[in-house]
Amino acid sequence: MNDARGCITSIILVTYNKLEYTKQCVESIRRHTQRGCYELIIVDNGSTDKMVDWAKSESDIIFIETESNAGFPKGCNQGLAAASGDLLLLLHNDTIVTPGWLDGLKRCLFSDDRIGAVSPVTNSATYWTSIPVTYKTVEEMELFASALHAIPDRTRWEERVKLAGYCLLMRREAWERVGPLDESFGIGSFENDDYGLRLRLAGYKLMLCGDVFIHHFGSITFGSEPELFQRTFRKNENLFMEKWGFHPEEAAHIRMDFNTVIQRESHGYRREDCSILEIGCGCGATLLHLKQQFPAAKWFGVEGNELAAKVAEASGITVFRSNDPAQWMIPAEGLDGIMISDAHAYGTTQAMNRLVRLLKPGGWIIGCFANRFYFENIRQYLDPSNGTAQRQVIIQYTMQQVSQLFAQAGFSYVKVTLAENKPEDQLAYIQSLEQLTDGAITKELTAAYLLVYGRVALAASEQDEDENEEPAGADAALDGGLEQREEPAVLLNEALRKWPSQGEPVALPEQNDVPFTSELS
């Protein structure tokens, strides 16, 4: 099946109360979807409002009634089993679809036989699927979406490791090959993460369609029962870990902060034909995102978890299981870039030098280091009941230390970026710490981690140009709470000066310093 014409799409809604939202959703489907090209299936999970009576009275709805709330995954599976369409679409009942929505999704789905599922962007969702909006009414929202849909734009399609579940269109053959949603996730949470990884392992691409928009109210079912949500979230989090062998927040995390810094610092002439390696690549989500910047690049990863490595390999990434650089089969000419989420594992001059030797002239490394002067790290260190304080400090760094580390490793150009996190409820404590300093590290107190970008010298003929770049210490604000600064001039008070020296710590197993936010709606 490679043509959208004549295809029937089975649209499946799973409901549990919230009749007014369901009515809005169904009315928008009728208004904005061509008649005869879809069937509408509603699976009700024991609603106690007037949902059942209303759905039974609607002649164009295939209605499946259950006596109790058996959960979102099971409801989806019941609807999928009853579907007759060539395409299958799981849609949350707290959405409003827009003009041209289904045609836009099918355009992407049928652009490549390897694409198994697609999803639109929205106004309210997790996992970097929401975009800024300005509308206030449904009418304004439809005009906003129509303007977005007016010019199909393939450059706004992005390959992903997983897709959020508010709207998921997939090929029937993909569903038949991968099987039903895992009903062990109960009433729901993490079933979409699980299904996305299963689709990837089956060889299918997943695409986020940035040129298709629908409205999503978000968290309508769980929002009224926060305690139930928290219990379910924790239970399913553990279930996911038992099934996959890694934490669900690590499964598909995208380092948007890395993308910001690399976009700022990388050179255009390196984008056409380059090789990039990520150490601790997980399932490859960050490398997939970088494909938009470097569409012709060769991608490499280092990942010790076998299942995560297989998911990354399904995305066209060459993955090495060993942490030993001598075992990595990289191109003979070297690498253009290396990314390290857990850079403390390479926080010695010797370890960093081993990576530098893998770079081409002009190659770069970006690493994430835990910030020793972050207010929460200081709080934990000063807590007398914290028996692991000394060990925690060993894997934390100051700006001065990371700058020296990169300089000693031979980088000719270094910039340190602060990733700010300044909770309103912690301002009093932060201000009390500021009083212990001379003001030079005020911004470091609210930097959860340090992003360090270093580039080795270019070839001799290009080195003059490299040396004339903006100096590393220039301040500049970046999106997402990132700010670049040069190393600090002072330490904290005398007590903090006595923290253990960084020295040459033993490399620790790779971890994720910055977890992704799981889908909550």
The tokens describing 347, both together, are: 């926080």
DSSP 21: H
On average, the pLDDT of the chain sits at 86
Residue 485 pLDDT grade (very low, low, confident, very high; cuts 50, 70, 90): very low
Run of H or E including 233 = helix 226-244
Q: What is the pLDDT of residues 169-211, one digit of tens each?
A: 999 999 999 999 999 998 888 999 999 999 999 999 999 999 9
Q: What is the pLDDT of residues 39-48, one digit of tens each?
A: 999 999 999 9
pLDDT at 515: 29
Mean pLDDT for the stretch of residues 80-102: 97
Residue 518 has pLDDT above 80, yes or no: no
Q: What is the pLDDT of residues 248-292, one digit of tens each?
A: 777 789 999 999 999 888 765 456 789 999 999 999 999 999 988
Residue 150 has pLDDT above 70, yes or no: yes
pLDDT at 266: 76
Alpha-carbon distance of 262 to 154, in angstroms, equals 23
Residue 74 has pLDDT above 80, yes or no: yes
The tokens describing 496, both together, are: 């903090």
What is the architecture of the domain spanning 256-372+398-420+450-493? 3-Layer(aba) Sandwich (3.40)
DSSP 183: G
What is the pTM assigned to this prediction? 0.86
pLDDT at 514: 32
Q: Among 112-116, 405-409, 517-521, which stretch is predicted with the lowest mean pLDDT?
A: 517-521
Alpha-carbon distance of 2 to 134, in angstroms, equals 36
Taking alpha carbons only, the member of 240, 218, 266 closest to residue 455 is 266
Place of tokens 């002239």: 361
Strand partners, 15: 44
**Is 140:215 a contact under the CB 8 Å cutoff?**
no
CA distances to 223, 284, 302, 368 from 511, rounded to whole Å, are: 31, 15, 13, 11
Residue 222 pLDDT grade (very low, low, confident, very high; cuts 50, 70, 90): low
Q: Among 17-31, 133-147, 187-201, 212-226, which stretch is predicted with the lowest mean pLDDT?
A: 212-226
Residue 4 has pLDDT above 80, yes or no: no
Taking alpha carbons only, the member of 398, 341, 331 closest to residue 366 is 341
Other CB atoms within a 10 A radius of the CB of residue 442 amount to: 15
Instruction: Mark residue 295 as left, alpha or beta (left: phi above 0; alpha: psi -120 to 50; beta: remaining).
Output: alpha
**Is 502:397 a contact under the CB 8 Å cutoff?**
yes
Grouping H, G, I as helix, E, B as strand and the rest as coil, residue 318 is strand
> Is the dihedral angle over the CA atoms 254, 258, 263, 267 positive or is it negative?
negative
CA distances to 94, 142, 143, 144, 147 from 134, rounded to whole Å, are: 19, 12, 11, 8, 13
Grouping H, G, I as helix, E, B as strand and the rest as coil, residue 140 is helix
Strand partners, 159: 207
**Is 194:240 a contact under the CB 8 Å cutoff?**
yes
Place of tokens 């297989």: 310
Homologous superfamily of 9-251 in CATH? Spore Coat Polysaccharide Biosynthesis Protein SpsA; Chain A (3.90.550.10)
Beta strands in 4-148 (DSSP E): 9-15, 38-45, 61-66, 87-91, 95-96, 115-121
Q: What is the pLDDT of residues 47-59, one digit of tens each?
A: 999 999 999 999 9
- Domain assignments of the chain as residue spans, ordered by start: 9-251, 256-372+398-420+450-493
**Is 335:317 a contact under the CB 8 Å cutoff?**
no
Burial of 4 (0-12, 13-18, 19+ CB in 10 A): middle
Place of tokens 């909770």: 423
Domain pair 9-251 / 256-372+398-420+450-493, same fold: no
Going by C-beta distance under 8 Å and a sequence separation of 6 or more, which residues neighbour residue 425?
A: none
Q: What percent of the chain has pLDDT over 70?
A: 84
pLDDT at 171: 98
pLDDT at 506: 31
Q: What is the pLDDT of residues 335-370, one digit of tens each?
A: 999 999 999 999 999 999 999 999 999 999 999 999
